[in-house]
């Protein structure tokens, strides 16, 4: 299984691994060792799709001498391209969208059957394809408006952190975004099921969970709001850190901010996608807030949670965005001073409302690139200033993995900052107090100032 794209996709990969494990499949580390290769894809921008098409073509090379190998493309790009994908990449056997993973074992079985005796019938398969006969291929693209994968559990790699999906799909219609069309409407998971999953994770040594949803804070289930779910998750014994992503600014309510401020386990970090700093552009993006509204949310969060780290997503060169409107976005960046910004050039996605805007509205590529570069420079400058000012602090770090250098480990602070320091790889999963000594601008290097034992909070 190879996964591209967002955290939700990573989590979907874990879901598929869980579904297949229940049928006796096993994950292998290299595609060369697999009988089935699934490429789990993203459709958010054209660039993401091109990367995947290149990779899938490369994986097709594995079929030489191993005609029984099943090559599947799953996820958002599979849903978006559907049959077109089979035309562009005729060696793909399975195209499956994000609402169809329950039928994955059955689909693989059908492909095996259709392939004849797998492993020996490659020539006739190829011959069938040469005749344009698609019997050996399968597309499963139904969107199920109620599919929340109740009763199924992810198969996760061991480690101290875990993604916990609480919601799938999206009810917003931001005009640039493909997600509602490839993941369907918002589908929430039962609060009780989420809580027992988190309890199970805590029992297996997970101490940090990240709740996932496309607009995670619009979650609701039979009277349980996102804020109250967050509180319950934060109180599960053994859970020391809770994060969530991605929230929509419109659903950042006083109730949610209060829960964040009051629950010690909820981390002091909020991802708040602004997308633009200009009211006309925000309106045309159908974001449902103004710059003033957004600033109001920032203020509310900062007042309730002193020192909270804020991150954001920004799109430049949305169709029709003027240079002056782009400068409003730079202004927003300087006004808010985000700890981190994920920056994108608008990418036209067929089927979305923005893709149907008059062609004269589309910002020329060179102009879009120039705006992106200017935005990145501003965002990085601010990030470096903020991080520089944090050098000298002592921070609690959850050790997540061994570092690149032998004898080094890497982890994150509660405010989501990456820190590398000297430590033994066997300490992954422990908490340490680390003095921040240097920053590259984006990440930190430090030295442990106290043992895990003293860093442990009650």
**From the list 11, 41, 275, 329, which residue makes contact with ligand 5AD (rule: CB under 6 A)?**
275
- As given in the structure block, the two tokens for residue 179 are 């997600």
Give the three-state DSSP class for 314: strand
* Binding footprint of ligand 5AD, residue count (CB under 6 A): 12
Minimum CB–partner distance for residue 188 and ligand 5AD (Å)? 20
Q: Please give the residues from 321 up to 380 whose contact with ligand 5AD meets the rule CB under 6 A.
A: 344, 346-347, 349
Cα 99 to Cα 168: distance, rounded to the nearest angstrom: 9
Task: State yes or no: residue 176 binds ligand 5AD (CB under 6 A).
Answer: yes
Peptide bond just before 246 cis, omega within 30 deg = yes
Q: Which is nearer to ligand 5AD, 383 or 439 (CB)?
A: 383
Task: State yes or no: residue 271 binds ligand 5AD (CB under 6 A).
Answer: no
**From the list 8, 16, 41, 45, which residue makes contact with ligand 5AD (rule: CB under 6 A)?**
45
Q: Positive or negative, the Cα torsion across 166, 170, 174, 175? A: positive
Q: Please give the residues from 277 up to 296 whose contact with ligand 5AD meets the rule CB under 6 A.
A: none
Q: Which is nearer to ligand 5AD, 341 or 428 (CB)?
A: 341
Taking each helix axis from N to C end, the angle separating 365-390 and 323-336, rounded to the nearest 10 degrees, works out to 10
Give the three-state DSSP class for 334: helix
Cα 316 to Cα 325: distance, rounded to the nearest angstrom: 10
Minimum CB–partner distance for residue 414 and ligand 5AD (Å)? 23
**From the list 263, 268, 313, 367, which residue makes contact with ligand 5AD (rule: CB under 6 A)?**
313
Q: Which is nearer to ligand 5AD, 177 or 455 (CB)?
A: 177
- As given in the structure block, the two tokens for residue 103 are 């039928």
Minimum CB–partner distance for residue 235 and ligand 5AD (Å)? 30
Cα 321 to Cα 28: distance, rounded to the nearest angstrom: 46
Cα 141 to Cα 94: distance, rounded to the nearest angstrom: 10
Strands 167-168, 187-188: pairing kind:
antiparallel
Minimum CB–partner distance for residue 182 and ligand 5AD (Å)? 11
Residue tagged 């101290």 (tokens) = 160
Minimum CB–partner distance for residue 138 and ligand 5AD (Å)? 29
- C-beta nearest to ligand 5AD: residue: 313
Minimum CB–partner distance for residue 370 and ligand 5AD (Å)? 16
Minimum CB–partner distance for residue 383 and ligand 5AD (Å)? 17
Q: Which is nearer to ligand 5AD, 10 or 62 (CB)?
A: 10
Cα 441 to Cα 443: distance, rounded to the nearest angstrom: 6
Task: State yes or no: residue 19 binds ligand 5AD (CB under 6 A).
Answer: no
**From the list 270, 315, 386, 409, which residue makes contact with ligand 5AD (rule: CB under 6 A)?**
315
273-283: burial string, b at 16+ Cβ within 10 Å, e else? bbbbbbbebbe
Q: Name the DSSP letter for residue 266.
A: B
Binding site for ligand 5AD (CB under 6 A): 44-45, 176-177, 273, 275, 313, 315, 344, 346-347, 349
């Amino acid at each position: 299984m190879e996964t591209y794209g967002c955290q939700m996709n990573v989590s979907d990969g874990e879901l598929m691994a869980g579904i297949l494990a229940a049928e006796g499949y096993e994950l292998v580390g290299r595609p060369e060792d697999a009988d089935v290769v699934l490429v789990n894809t993203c459709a958010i921008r054209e660039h993401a799709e091109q990367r995947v098409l290149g990779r899938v073509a490369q994986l097709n090379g594995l079929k030489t001498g191993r005609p029984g190998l099943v090559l599947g493309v799953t996820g958002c790009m599979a849903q978006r391209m559907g049959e077109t994908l089979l035309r562009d990449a005729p060696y793909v056997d399975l195209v499956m969208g994000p609402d169809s993973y329950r039928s994955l074992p059955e689909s693989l079985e059908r492909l095996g059957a259709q392939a004849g005796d797998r492993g020996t019938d490659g020539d006739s398969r190829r011959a069938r394809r040469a005749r344009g006969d698609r019997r050996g291929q399968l597309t499963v693209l139904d969107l199920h408006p109620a599919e929340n994968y109740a009763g199924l559990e992810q198969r996760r790699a061991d480690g101290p952190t875990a993604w916990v999906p609480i919601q799938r799909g999206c009810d917003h219609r931001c005009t640039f975004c493909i997600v509602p069309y490839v993941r369907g409407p918002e589908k929430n998971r039962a609060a009780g099921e989420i809580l027992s999953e988190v309890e199970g994770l805590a029992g297996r040594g997970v101490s940090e969970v990240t709740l996932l949803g496309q607009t995670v804070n619009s979650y609701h289930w039979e009277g349980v709001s996102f804020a109250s779910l967050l509180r319950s998750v934060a109180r599960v014994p053994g859970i020391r850190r809770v994060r969530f992503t991605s929230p929509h600014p419109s659903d950042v309510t006083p109730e949610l901010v209060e829960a964040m401020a009051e629950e010690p386990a909820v981390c002091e970090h909020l991802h708040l996608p602004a997308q633009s700093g200009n009211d006309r552009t925000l309106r045309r993006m159908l974001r449902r807030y103004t710059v003033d509204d957004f600033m109001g949310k920032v203020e509310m969060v900062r007042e309730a949670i002193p020192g909270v780290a804020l991150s954001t997503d920004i799109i430049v060169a949305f169709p029709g965005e003027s240079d002056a409107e782009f400068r409003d976005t730079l202004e927003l960046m300087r006004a808010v001073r985000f700890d981190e910004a994920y920056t994108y050039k608008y990418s036209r996605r067929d089927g979305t409302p923005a893709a149907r805007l008059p062609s004269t509205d589309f910002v020329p590529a060179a102009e879009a690139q120039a705006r992106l570069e200017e935005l990145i420079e501003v965002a990085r400058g601010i990030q470096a200033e903020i991080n520089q000012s944090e050098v000298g602090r002592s921070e609690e770090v959850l050790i997540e993995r061994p570092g690149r250098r032998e004898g080094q480990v890497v982890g994150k602070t509660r405010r989501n900052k990456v820190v590398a320091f000297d430590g033994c790889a066997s300490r992954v999963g422990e908490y340490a107090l680390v003095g921040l000594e240097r920053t590259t601008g984006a990440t930190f290097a430090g030295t442990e100032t106290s043992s895990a034992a003293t860093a442990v909070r009650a």
